[in-house]
Amino acid sequence: MVTTIQQVLILDGAAGYRTVDVRLEGEKIVAIAPFLPPQGTLIDGRNKLLLPGFVNAHTHSSEMWQRGLIAPLPLELWLAELHDTSPTEPEQIYLSALGTAVETLLTGGTTVVDHLAMIPGREDESIEAAVRGYREAGIRAFVGPLIQDQSLETGMPIGQRHTPKTDPQVTAEVLAMMERAIAAHHDPAHGISIMTAPTGMQLCSDALFKGCIELSDRHSLCRHTHLLETKAQQMLALEKYGYSAVEHLKRIGFLGARTSLAHCVWLTDADIPFLADTQSTVVHNPLSNLRLGSGIAPLFKYREAGVNVTFGCDGAASNDSQDMLEAIKIGSILHCPTDFEYRRWITPRDAIQMASLGGVTGLGLGDQLGAIAEGKTADLVLYDLTDLSLLPRTDPIGLLVLGRPNQVVHHAWVNGKTVVADGKMATVDVAHLKQKLSEHSQWDVVSAATPRPRHALHRMEPQYRQVMGLE
Amino acid sequence: MVTTIQQVLILDGAAGYRTVDVRLEGEKIVAIAPFLPPQGTLIDGRNKLLLPGFVNAHTHSSEMWQRGLIAPLPLELWLAELHDTSPTEPEQIYLSALGTAVETLLTGGTTVVDHLAMIPGREDESIEAAVRGYREAGIRAFVGPLIQDQSLETGMPIGQRHTPKTDPQVTAEVLAMMERAIAAHHDPAHGISIMTAPTGMQLCSDALFKGCIELSDRHSLCRHTHLLETKAQQMLALEKYGYSAVEHLKRIGFLGARTSLAHCVWLTDADIPFLADTQSTVVHNPLSNLRLGSGIAPLFKYREAGVNVTFGCDGAASNDSQDMLEAIKIGSILHCPTDFEYRRWITPRDAIQMASLGGVTGLGLGDQLGAIAEGKTADLVLYDLTDLSLLPRTDPIGLLVLGRPNQVVHHAWVNGKTVVADGKMATVDVAHLKQKLSEHSQWDVVSAATPRPRHALHRMEPQYRQVMGLE
């Protein structure tokens, strides 16, 4: 399978562009030159921009079933609401993985990191369903089952030093489930990787973290976890460890060059060297950090310390979309008001590099992906620059990052395979997907008259308000 | 002209919805009931949501020519760049007004407030061109020529008390130009209103403000201005007046129930009662406040003080889009991290009301627009809820505000007239507009090799860095 993209704009140096022909063969970019002999499938690249694919570096696909649903609440109470409205059928997990893949691909992402919430008691089926969705969509997927061995309530600080109890039997069962998932699904050569992804220090024992480290070492897996998303988690870490959560992850050996850490909002200056020294990656989720009121992550400090930073959409119940271009735009402008020194501000070029090379670097693929060069694997996205949202013609990257592009992904390739063609999904019947999503859901239009049961919220809110000093 | 929208969802009370038929006749909503006899043009409202149109309450249409172009810079230096790359032909002003109207209408806005930057020396032609664009698009437009009688450099603080000089001849000429604009174009009955809109206290003399007040009183016009967008402006106000810019606007009589104030980022707690007491409206422009690093406006304080707050996209060189749903989403979640008390956070319902009723209230039309009720003027938008971006089916308002809807405006009416039908502009040939925007522009792809001249930036940057204490 040979494809030649003709006369397309690619980035050149710090601020320029070049017009080139790009040849894809099998999984690879095999040639780039001002003009190449026309071979294979020819794609007209005029008035188009070719970029390496982005990584949607943190999401929870099954939250798609709850998007638009949960009121503005801080993470700890939002989680209680999430808990009360989660999907219950593996078929739903399959459909939301498919939907997450489609939305990611149609907004420039070619890789998704799914910190996968599963149906309790049906974890193996849930993982199988999500993997099936990603294989079908043809997106590169890192599936990290969202595992924990402590209860939801344990994730809240209580105002004093304490050691949450864990049942070792639960920990062992979770790790056994992970072993089965790895054996059944880990297949990086074909674009599906399992990662070890404990939910976070707020809901996981050290035994679970250590079991995950052992599994990831033995099977060469990436690691992923939530880290200090909220002030409450920062407080909880001090209650549990007596020192910072970051230092704790460093001590137990969880950090590293293939470890990516979602959020990192509440790190102190003293925590940052732990990330830099271990070459860990920060995944910035600007939309959910705002929607949940978590805070604004100190991105400039991470970048100045040499920490690799990339972007995620986060789950669709806390964003509530899977639009990578939106995450990149907000993720790169959100920090300007935090520093008058505008020379530190993230440029559109920086943002593109963070979203592409930054993303794959955190997944151990920085040598194979994230750039347009001969020999690299073809995870590529071709943007149509003639949409009204990208006119008049000025700086293509400026328009793409700082504008609000409307369905401008013209073609996309993952591992050299076409997944989007002529602005449409080549792998997924989107009309059928929409029909299925619609069939499995109903408008929540009577909530005033017959409110949803909110057991978890009502149980947890008094403690939250007390410990956070509200009222 | 009679239209019946059948079986459509509308908002009902604080959290519910109703399914109704809605009849439009002439400019008005004339009936709303569970079922109406089918009359006139029938629109299928099933799986659709009908809302009052939003107000894009602050923009500068001609900046469309510079979107994507200007590097991340604070307002004062960004303005210098803007100055060096402004459009030069009235035809461009017409096209960017048309483009701004189209993007606003296709994202839920039915009214635009254009704080119109004009071509120096061709102000009358510029205003005519913009008005022509808005008439053609059929959007309700408030055009406030962006007037000033002091130089760009005067907008920067200098570190000491001073009184910028103004040439009274310049002030008189600006006001004479406004008189001509009002005479030629002010026609609210047909949807075009001229407003008096001095750029801001940073570039305008008291004489110009007072002239604008006199004009607006005499012709019953709305007033509009930028207010304390940046820290530098806060500093400058103290240098010019010895007290706050807000208090100054109050003293000279510029504030009032038909005065809207763009940004309001750097107000102190003591300033807020001036806004509340005068029933002035704050226009929040979250995207440009982030992109220019201006700051995060204290929206919760405004709302608690009873100040009317609405949303704008701001000009497309500082956003760089005209997507009302984006402005509403970011404008309503940006503030959560500023306050742990989540009971103050803006709900999706609040946001819709701020964007619709809040917007028209600031324009003196709160009694006629901004709600779906019999007798109200029909500025309405019908959203298609079956797009993938709004699935699965949960809470329609939650999806619309917190999601990232993709081209979901199905129909729109302004003054009872159809402006969008079946997802397409009914009034504007968008393909032709795209062609014209493309013809009048070129890709800025060689900026590394042959950088743009940046005279104003190079002239102003040293002073900015010094006065802001950078380096």
- What does the DSSP assignment read for B94-114? HHHHHHHHHHHHTTTEEEEEE
Q: What is the spatial distance between Cα A371 and Cα A106, in angstroms, rounded to a whole number?
A: 19
Q: Which residue has the tokens 């943007």?
A: A383
Using a CB-CB cut-off of 8 Å, the residues of chain A touching B341 are: 470
pLDDT score for A13: 83
pLDDT for B85 equals: 83
pLDDT band, very low/low/confident/very high, at A455 (cuts 50, 70, 90)? confident
Q: A232 in helix, strand or coil?
A: helix
CB–CB contact B320 A389 (8 Å): no
Is residue A136 a contact partner of residue A106, using CB atoms and an 8 Å limit? no
Min mean pLDDT across A10-14, A236-240, A314-318 is at A10-14
Q: Chain B residue with minimal CA distance to A325?
A: B404
Cβ distance B340 to A468 less than 8 Å, yes or no, reads yes
The DSSP 8-state label assigned to residue B370 in this structure reads S
Crossing angle of helices A123-137/A90-105, nearest 10°?
A: 30
Select the residue from A391, A407, A447 to test the B interface by mutation, using most B Cβ atoms within 10 A.
Answer: A391
**B70 CB within 8 Å of a chain A CB:** yes
- Residue A252 β-bridge partners: none
- Give the residues across from A48 on adjacent strands: A384
Q: Would an 8 Å CB–CB cutoff place B61 in contact with chain A?
A: no
Find the residue in A nearest to B461 (Cα).
A342
Instruction: Specify the pTM.
Output: 0.98
In this structure, the dihedral spanned by the alpha carbons of residues B374, B378, B379 and B385, taken in order and rounded to 10 degrees, is 80
Residue B7: pLDDT above 60? yes
Kindly state the percentage of chain A with pLDDT values over 70.
98
Averaged pLDDT of chain B: 96
User: Chain B residues with CB inside 8 Å of A320's CB?
Assistant: 398-399, 402-403
pLDDT single digits (tens) B291-331:
999 999 999 999 999 999 999 999 999 999 999 999 999 99
Per-residue model confidence (pLDDT) at position B451: 59
Residue with tokens 């069962």: A173
Residue A14 in this model has a pLDDT that exceeds 90: no
What pLDDT is attached to residue B152? 83
pLDDT average, residue stretch B457-467: 92
Query: What's the pLDDT tens digit per position in B201-218?
Result: 999 999 999 999 999 999
B225 vs B444 pLDDT, higher one? B225
Nearest to A448 among B16, B334, B390 (CB): B16
Q: Do A437 and B392 touch (CB under 8 A)?
A: yes
A340 vs B231: CB contact, 8 Å cut-off?
yes
The per-residue pLDDT for range B131-184, each reduced to its tens digit, is 999 999 999 999 999 999 998 888 899 999 999 989 999 999 999 999 999 999
Q: CB–CB of A99 and B388 under 8 A?
A: yes
Q: How far apart are CA A363 and CA A162, in angstroms?
A: 34
For residue A386, name the pLDDT band (cuts at 50, 70, 90): very high
Q: Rounded to an integer, what distance in angstroms lies between the CA atom of residue A239 and that of residue A268?
A: 16
Report pLDDT for A435. 98
pLDDT at A1 over 90: no
pLDDT confidence bin for A291, thresholds 50/70/90: very high
For residue B421, pLDDT beyond 90: yes
Cis omega (within 30 of 0) on the bond before B392?
yes
Q: Does A403 contact B448 at a Cβ distance shorter than 8 Å? A: no
CA B391 centroid distance within chain: 29
**How would residue A448 be classed by pLDDT, with cut points 50, 70 and 90?**
very low
Q: What does the pLDDT read at residue A451?
A: 59
Average pLDDT over residues A222-243: 97
Burial class (CB in 10 A: 0-12, 13-18, 19+), A262: buried
Does the beta carbon of B403 lie under 8 angstroms from any beta carbon of chain A? Answer: yes
Is A389 in contact with B321 (Cβ distance < 8 A)? yes
For A:342-361, CB contacts with B below 8 A are 342, 345-347
Q: What domains sit in chain B, N to C, each tagged with a CATH number? A: 2-51+374-427 (2.30.40.10), 53-361 (3.20.20.140)
What confidence score (pLDDT) does residue A152 get?
84
Å between A257 CA and nearest CA of chain B = 30
| Set of chain A residues whose Cβ sits within 8 Å of the Cβ of B80 | none
3-state secondary structure of B142: strand
Task: Looking at the complex, report in whole angstroms how far the Cα of residue B95 sits from the nearest Cα belonging to chain A.
Answer: 10
Considering only CA atoms, which of B428, B361, B360, B395 is closest in space to residue B136? B428
- CA dihedral B73→B79→B81→B82, nearest 10 degrees, is 120
Q: Is A172's pLDDT higher than 70?
A: yes
Interval B433-448 mean pLDDT: 84
With beta carbons less than 8 A apart as the criterion, state whether A47 and A384 touch.
yes
Q: What part of A 241-260 touches B (C-beta under 8 Å)?
A: none
User: Taking 90 as the threshold, does the pLDDT of residue A394 lie above it?
Assistant: yes
Q: Given phi > 0 = left and psi -120 to 50 = alpha, else beta, which region is A469? A: left
Give the residue-averaged pLDDT of A99-122. Answer: 98
Reported confidence tier of residue A446, pLDDT bands at 50, 70, 90: low
Q: Does residue B34 have a pLDDT over 50?
A: yes
Residue A152 contacts B where some CB pair is shorter than 8 Å: no
